[in-house]
Structure 1
Amino acid sequence: MADTCSSVKQLVKELIDSDDVVIFSKTTCPFCIAAKKVFDDLHQVYTAVELNKRDDGDTIQTILEQITGARTVPRVFVRGECLGGCSDIKELYASGKLVEILKAK
C-alpha cells in the first residue's frame, strides 16, 4: 500500500505541475462546476482532473487533503500553489485578485 500511495503522490505532483491551472474536481459536484465556470468565463485554459472518473480518485483526494489540509473538491492550483476551493476562487475573482494571479508569471 505504501508503494501505491507514494506513486499516487508522485502522480498528484506531476498533475499539479502539468499546467498553469489544475482543478481537482468531480463532474457531479455543483461547487466544482461553479469553480470551473469562473475560469471558463475568464477564458483561462485549465486541466480538470475528474476524481469520480478515475479508479485512484479517492486516493488522490486523500493526498490532496495531506497537501492542502482540505479533502473537499474542488482543489484549485495555479502554478503549483493551491488557491483553495470554490468559495476561495469566487472571492478572488470578485476582488480582481484572481486575474492578477493569473497574469503574474
Structure 2
Amino acid sequence: MDRISDLASKKAAVIFTKSSCCMCHSIKALFYELGASPAVHELDQDSRGKEMERALRGLGCNPTVPAVFIGGEFVGSAKDVISLHVDGSLKQRLINARAIWF
C-alpha cells in the first residue's frame, strides 16, 4: 500500500493499468484528450505489480485496473472516471490538481 500511495502522490494524475486492458486504454486516451499527461504504471510490466494489485483491491478497486488518482486522491475505476467526465467534474478536478491548465 505504501508503494501505491507514494506513486499516486508523485504526479497530479496517476493511472494504474495493465497493458492488455481495453478500459485502461480508454481512460488513458480520455486523460490525454483532456490535455493531461498522467503517470501510467503498467502493473503487468512491473516486478511488484501483483503486490500493487492486491493493495488496489484493498482500496476497493474491483476490477483492480484502471485505478485512477488525481491530486493524490483515489478517484476510482473506469466507471467512476466516466461518471465524473459525463457530469463535467473530471476536467475541473484535473485543473484543481494542476494536471491541466486553462
Same structural fold, with TM-score higher than 0.5 when normalized by the shorter chain: yes
Give SS of 1:69's match. Answer: coil
Deviation at 1:10, TM superposition (A): 2.4
Contact 1:35 1:85 in 2 (8 A): no
- Aligned equivalent of 2:12: 20
Letter in 1 for 2:69: F
Q: What root-mean-square deviation, in Å, do the aligned CA atoms of Structure 1 and Structure 2 show?
A: 1.2
**Aligned with 1:84 (options 76, 88, 93):** 76
Higher helix share: 1
In the TM superposition, what whole-angstrom CA distance separates every residue of 1:41-75 from its partner, at most 9, and x where no partner exists?
10101100000101211110001122x21242000
Within 5 Å, which residues of 2 pair with 1:3-14? Answer: 9-14=1-6
- Aligned equivalent of 1:69: 60
Q: How many residues align?
A: 96
- Aligned equivalent of 1:100: 92
Q: Which runs of 4+ in 1 moved over 4 A?
A: none
Largest Rg, 1 or 2: 1
Structure 1 residue runs without a partner (length 5+): 1-8
Give SS of 1:39's match. Answer: helix
- Aligned equivalent of 1:37: 29
Structure 2 residue runs without a partner (length 5+): 98-102
TM-score (norm. length: structure 2)? 0.87
Letter in 2 for 1:64: L
